[in-house]
Amino acid sequence: MPMAQWVLLRPVTMGLLLQSLLLLLLLLGCFLHPATAFPKGCYPSEEEGLKTFRCSNARLTEVPRDIPNDTNKLYLDSNRIPFLPRDAFRDLPLLLELDLSHNAIASVESGAFRGLAEHLHSLDLSSNRLVSVSKDAFSNLKAKVNLSNNPWLCDCRLQELVRTVELVAGSSGGIVCDSSAQEEHVGKAFLQVIADTDLCNAYKKTTDIAMLVTMFGWFAMVISYLVYYVRQNQEDARRHLEYLKSLPSKQRRSEESSTISTVV
């Protein structure tokens, strides 16, 4: 090839080589770092025109972070999730249904469902390990909630929670007292219990009684101290008088005069 022709073709050849190298690097990057890396066992789909993300039976131990933010229905059921942290679903503003049933959830932090109040209409927390949850965890939430089949402690806190949320129709019978301050409530449906007893009022009465007992205890201690103080002074005065009586008459009068002048 003539030297002049080689010089002219060199830039074209170098350009093609650079383009090929860039294309190879791009393909390699896509292979090593795929655009959508979902957790193992999770996959997106579309059901009845709604974008769905399923992670059922995926052995998850926490709420996944790589959930598409346009998801409408999220299934995290039948996993090993132990608790719901604050802002666990804040990046899912379009979520309509959330299934967290059949997990190991024992704690729900306040603000766990923050950001879902506008659209969420179904929340399933059935068959978990919930014993006690603050009503603040569900503040402003308009979704219908399923709280059945959990080992609930039937107390004022649960009463406030049940009166704050809207329960899924037919699920209230599954909210059963696994434990309670009153043994006769154990094993009963919670709505049956609060139909007969206001647990918050009973709690207030118990607190008032405890305060009265404490106040009475302090009062009794003060009275006991005063009685002891008076008796101790009386004993000291009696001993002093006996001492004065045992002195010779002149010295006794002198002591009495000194005592009187001191008092004056």
pLDDT band at 108 (very low <50, low <70, confident <90, very high): very high
Average pLDDT of the segment spanning 177-185: 93
Cβ count near 243 (within 10 Å): 11
Average pLDDT of the segment spanning 98-126: 96
Instruction: Please enumerate in sequence order all residues whose Cβ is within 8 A of that of 52, keeping only pairs 6 or more positions apart, or say none.
Output: 44, 45, 46, 71, 72, 73, 74, 75
pLDDT band at 102 (very low <50, low <70, confident <90, very high): very high
Please give the Cα distance from 190 to 97 (Å, whole number): 26
Residue 212 has pLDDT above 90, yes or no: no
Task: Measure CA of the first residue to CA of the last residue in the chain; give whole Å.
Answer: 137
Nearest to 187 by CA among 196, 195, 197, 177: 177
Predicted local confidence at residue 39, as pLDDT: 86
**In CATH, what is the architecture of 36-197?**
Alpha-Beta Horseshoe (3.80)
Please, are residues 132 and 157 in contact by the beta-carbon 8 Å criterion? Answer: yes
- The kind and range of the H/E element at 260 are helix 249-263
Residue 75 has pLDDT above 60, yes or no: yes
Residue 175 has pLDDT above 90, yes or no: yes
Q: Which residue has the higher pLDDT, 215 or 54?
A: 54
Predicted local confidence at residue 38, as pLDDT: 84
Q: Is 75 left (phi over 0), alpha (psi -120 to 50) or beta?
A: beta
- Would you kindly state where each structural domain of the chain is located, as residue ranges? 36-197, 198-232
Instruction: Please enumerate in sequence order all residues whose Cβ is within 8 A of that of 99, keeping only pairs 6 or more positions apart, or say none.
Output: 74, 75, 76, 77, 124
Please give the Cα distance from 150 to 170 (Å, whole number): 15
Cβ count near 98 (within 10 Å): 25
pLDDT band at 220 (very low <50, low <70, confident <90, very high): low
Average pLDDT, the chain: 79
Predicted local confidence at residue 221, as pLDDT: 67
Predicted local confidence at residue 118, as pLDDT: 85
Predicted local confidence at residue 193, as pLDDT: 94
Predicted local confidence at residue 196, as pLDDT: 87
Helix axes 199-246, 249-263, angle to 10 degrees: 140
Please give the Cα distance from 88 to 92 (Å, whole number): 9
Which of 112-116, 147-151, 232-236, 259-263 has the lowest average pLDDT? Answer: 259-263
pTM for this model (two decimals)? 0.65
pLDDT band at 260 (very low <50, low <70, confident <90, very high): very low
Q: Which two tokens stand for residue 247?
A: 């002195």
Predicted local confidence at residue 45, as pLDDT: 94
pLDDT band at 154 (very low <50, low <70, confident <90, very high): very high
Going from the C-alpha of 132 to that of each of 88, 108, 157, the distances in angstroms are 19, 9, 7
Model confidence pLDDT, tens digit, residues 20-43: 555 555 545 444 444 457 888 999
Helix axes 199-246, 156-164, angle to 10 degrees: 150
Q: H/E/C letters for each residue in 217-237?
A: HHHHHHHHHHHHHHHHHHHHH
Residue 132 has pLDDT above 90, yes or no: yes
Predicted local confidence at residue 166, as pLDDT: 96
Predicted local confidence at residue 109, as pLDDT: 96
Percentage of the chain modeled with pLDDT above 90: 56
